[in-house]
Structure 1
Amino acid sequence: MSFSFRVSSSLRPVGARALVQCFQLQWELKGHMDCISTLQFNESGAWLTSSSHDMRVIIWDWVQQRALLEFDSGFTSNVFQAKFLPNSGDTALAMCGSDGQVRVAQLCPSPACQTIRRVAQHQAAAHKLALVPHCPHRFLTSGEDAVVYNVDLQLDQPASELLVLKEKQKRVGLYTIFVNPNNIHEFAVGGQDLVVRIYDQRKMDQRVNNGVLKKFCPLHLLTNQINPVITSLVYSHDGTELLASYNDADIYLFDTNSCDETQYVKKYKGHRNSLPPKEINFYGPRSQFVVSGSDYGHIFFWEKSSCQIVQCIEAVLGDTINCVEPHPRLPIIVSCGLDMNVKILGPSGIVTADPEETKNVMKRNKQAHGECLMSHRNLFDNYMIWCLMHHINP
């Protein structure tokens, strides 16, 4: 059955619950030689980019299941993110990695014509970069050195230090950053503590609340014995809500208009966010669902309003899913993890959601969480140990 038939045969809206409950693995894209860090569609959704621990970037025609372009990134270790810059005609790709570099590739049809330059350098791993909506020349980066850079490609010196995050004079390393899609001056960061911080670039006075516009932190996590950190956060389509995922804990939804720093709106549980750290996302044109990868190869979909798990897909047997990315228009999700292949998921003609199996998966995840409490280390100390063991025992 062809892809076009599967999509056109469904009359349900992209964000319909009944459609999500029919999702299943459709096919895989093979080309990387090591586990894949992240995925991103271009603006039209025709192309997909993947970056990997093999230090290569591949741009795919994901429908035709073929690589259009692949190149060495110039990083000395893992490429954590590679994203098309908006309104660039899909010719500019921003990248960051575990060696702290931030690089930009100017793309040409021939691999020999790629121009790649370093535009910023963190003093520790740079896990995430944040695109500025509709802007082809500017983006933000965050690193474990607690620094946020504003990168403007129109300047001779593109990178300027926007923020050094400190709490009680101690630097707070950052793992994730996202720009509000409805307010390009506002961005949120999370990392090596429990606090989601929102900043407005026009109001970053370090003398007032360290420049922070708003903070959010679930109060009960302050007494959590494993000291969870924030591995991923993302704004909703209109910027009124913010999701944050904590390692070895749950996913929390915050109202960005709220003034209560300890109050979350919703909590989503049942998955397992241990190693490597998992990304989260919204799914649906109005952010109707929450979606996350999980340990042991599963992808979870929660209905945002009810917090119910409406779909749990085993995308890969026994391995970890660390990234999930929705298509900008179609009922398609792509995912990646530790098995080197990109997974393409979409609706089938039957309901694939299995409530009993989902309960079993949740039970196993809860048991694994309990075992983790007995031997918990710092998240990224564990991550480095995991990387070492992964290469010794591929």
Structure 2
Amino acid sequence: MSGYDLFCKRVCADVNLVKRMGIYCEYEKHSGCVNSLHFNESGNLVASGSDDLQVVVYDWTKEKEVVKFLSNHSSNIFQTKFLPNSGDSHIVTSARDGQVRLAQLSSTGSCRSHKKLAQHKGPVHKISLFSDSPEELYSCGEDGNVFHIDLRLDKLASYVVSSFTVKHKSKKVGLNSVSSNPMNSVELCVVGRDPYVRIYDIRKVDTDNKEDNCMKRFRAEFVKSDYMHMTCAVYNHIGTEIVASYSNDDIYLFDTSHSNNASEIKRYTGHRNSATVKGVNFYGPECQYVVSGSDCSNVFIWDKQSTEVVNVMHGDDQGVVNVVEPHKHLPMLATSGLDNKVKLWMAHKKPQSLMANLPAIMKKNAKNRKSDREASLFDDGHLLWFLMQTLRRSHRESDDSSADSSDMMPPPDDDDDDDDDDNDVDEGGPYSRDVQCAAS
């Protein structure tokens, strides 16, 4: 390890610098909320994608826009990533329209070409790059499908090498997140519209989609309801841990070496994840911290081992921080949310910590989460069942009748194993409460 690498390792992990973070710079280049951020390999550029369908590449070291281009997506951009070893000239995007696209940039600061790599039948919130193959990536969609995409394939053929469908009790599970193991790219984890983190070996999946044959699946011990679901999960730098964020619940850390159906080893509390498909991440050269945005407009940083909050900072003017992206080798974070700004954070002579207000922030988040959780009980089929029973009750009362309780319709059968309908997707679809961002 070089002296520079050793310096960066020590600085990035220094809790005193983490506690002193403030906004180093910010840019306002979008006209909608910003759903995605990604640093290039050298770390001087950050790519952002927005509801305005634009992708902006910004050089924070010079505080200037490098390129801005229309993505050719027809709906909200959810992910933007630089392809490694491409000279920062190739950016992959995914969006609400279900497309995964590749943009090639010119040296003159414009977009030279676009092409569609894959098409899901639902929104695509996340894509994941291979650590050992710059031409390959995974995508996952609310259609329940995971695509393995290889850019080396003939452009006249499909770029999708293989695909599989995630199912639970024979029903498709709408997916929010996919992450490849940085030490073993054939292994990936996915999360979505049920309470499980699933780990797959891409070489061993059932491509006939007859059953869900994941290697392992994990579930938080305190999450009892099958209606709880996750918005994001990622591996640490060596693939030994996965951090996952539940909607209307906490963030949990899982040990990937543990057996099937194992529960968490750590739990991180205090934030609120309800209104959007919110990300979660590790921070530090050895993933010493866990970071996430929150529906209270703040950025939370927890010490991974102690699970204590070490910093909380105001990160969004519209009330929700969705994205917290760590720099690859510097003590820096990039954040974005419902406003149209991208903020870059570093240790600052004027720290912008809200730690003095942490007890009040956590108390308010807990109160609001309780309300969110109660409201979520009436999602999808249960909302329809609830409304129908209310109408029946209203009709009985207006007719002054006394119908027997046997007239009540049963609630939706969670164990319905009928898989004849291929469109039977346990993802929420158009009824999904989770949105990436408010309408802009």
Structure 2 length as normaliser, TM-score? 0.82
For the residues of structure 1 that align with 2:9 and 2:201, how far apart are their CA atoms? 41
Alignment of 1:122-271 (within 5 A): 122-156=120-154, 157-205=158-206, 210-223=212-225, 227-271=227-271
Partner in structure 1 of residue 374 of structure 2 = 374
| Corresponding residue to 2:53 among 55, 60, 70 | 55
d(CA) in 2 for partners of 1:111, 1:77:
24
In structure 2, relative to structure 1, the CA distance for the partners of 1:106 and 1:270 (3 Å cut) is same
Preserved CA contact (<8 Å) 2:120 2:145: yes
Pick closer, same or farther for the CA change 1:10–1:257 going to 2, 3 Å. Answer: closer
Q: Indicate conservation of the 8 Å contact 1:194/1:228, yes or no.
A: yes
> What's the CA shift string for 1:218-260, capped at 9, x where partnerless?
2331237xx2211011100111000110111000100000015
Give SS of 1:296's match.
coil
Query: Quick one: structure 1 residues 386 and 130, their matched pair in 2 at CA, closer, same or farther if it must change by over 3 Å?
Result: closer
SS in 2 for 1:220: coil
**Could you tell me how far apart the structure 2 residues matched to 1:322 and 1:385 are?**
8
- The answer on 1:361 being equivalent to 2:412 is no
Listed as ranges, the gaps of 5+ residues in structure 2 are 1-6, 381-427
Q: How does 1:227-376 map to 2 (within 5 A)?
A: 227-317=227-317, 319-349=319-349, 353-376=353-376
Q: Cα gap change, 1:313/1:121 in structure 2, threshold over 3 Å: closer, same or farther?
A: same
Who is 1:6 aligned against?
A: none
Contact kept in structure 1, 2:106 and 2:112, CA below 8 Å: yes
Select between 35-44 and 214-223 the one with higher mean Cα deviation. Answer: 214-223
Q: How far apart, in 1, do the equivalents of 2:8 and 2:201 lie?
A: 42
Identity %: 36
Distance across 1 between alignment mates of 2:345 and 2:168: 41
Q: Secondary structure at the match of 1:364?
A: helix
Find the aligned partners of 2:59 and 2:436 in 1 and give their Cα distance: 35
Change (3 A) 1:386 1:342: closer
**C-alpha separation in 1, matches of 2:110 and 2:18:** 41
Partner of 1:42: 40
Are residues 276 and 70 of structure 1, via their aligned partners in 2, closer, same or farther at CA, if it must alter by over 3 Å? same
Cα deviation for residue 51 of structure 1 reads 0.3
SS at match of 1:75: coil
Q: Which residue of 2 aligns with 1:4?
A: none
Amino acid at match of 1:278: K
- Amino acid in the other structure paired with 1:361: I
Distance 1:74 1:233 in 2: 28
- Contact residue 323 and residue 337 of structure 1 kept, 8 A: yes
Q: Name the aligned partner's letter for residue 213 of structure 2.
A: G
Work out the number of aligned pairs and report it. 379
Distance 1:112 1:287 in 2: 35
Aligned to 1:5: none
TM-score, structure 1 normalization:
0.91
Larger radius of gyration: 2
Aligned to 1:373, the other structure's residue is in SS state helix
Task: Look up the equivalent residue of 2:163 and give its one-letter code.
Answer: L
Deviation at 1:350, TM superposition (A): 6.0
Q: Deviations over 1:329-359 (max 9, x none)?
A: 1111010001100011110136654543111
Deviations 1:332-390 (A, max 9, x none): 10100011000111101366545431111101101111222332236763345974xx4
Is residue 310–residue 353 contact of structure 1 (8 Å, CA) maintained in 2? no
Equivalent residue number for residue 3 of structure 1: none
Kept in 1, the 8 Å contact 2:89–2:105? The answer is yes
Contact 1:192 1:230 survives alignment (8 Å): yes
State which drifts further: 155-164 or 356-365.
155-164
Q: Distance in 1 between matches of 2:185 and 2:75?
A: 31
Are 2:278 and 2:436, in contact at CA under 8 Å, matched by a contact in 1?
A: no
* Structure 1 position 172, deviation (Å): 0.7
Q: Indicate if the aligned counterparts of 1:87 and 1:135 stay in contact, CA closer than 8 A.
A: no
Distance change (3 Å), C-alpha of 1:12 and 1:216:
closer
Q: 1:260 to 1:350 in 2, by over 3 A?
A: farther
One-letter amino acid of the structure 2 residue matched with residue 177 of structure 1: V
The verdict on how the C-alpha distance between 1:217 and 1:111 changes in structure 2, with shifts beyond 3 A counting, is: same
Q: CA–CA distance in 1 between the matches of 2:149 and 2:274?
A: 31
Contact 1:85–1:135 at 8 Å: present in 2 too? no
C-alpha separation between the residues in 2 aligned to 1:275 and 1:213? 31
User: Once the 2 structures are TM-superposed, how far is the Cα of residue 121 of structure 1 from its aligned partner?
Assistant: 0.4
Root-mean-square deviation (CA), in Å? 2.2
Query: What are the Cα deviations for residues 114-160 of structure 1, in whole angstroms up to 9, with x where unaligned?
Result: 21000110011111111001322111100011111111111122113
Structure 1 counterpart of 2:69, from 65, 68, 71: 71
| 2:119 equivalent in structure 1 | 121
Aligned to 1:19: 17
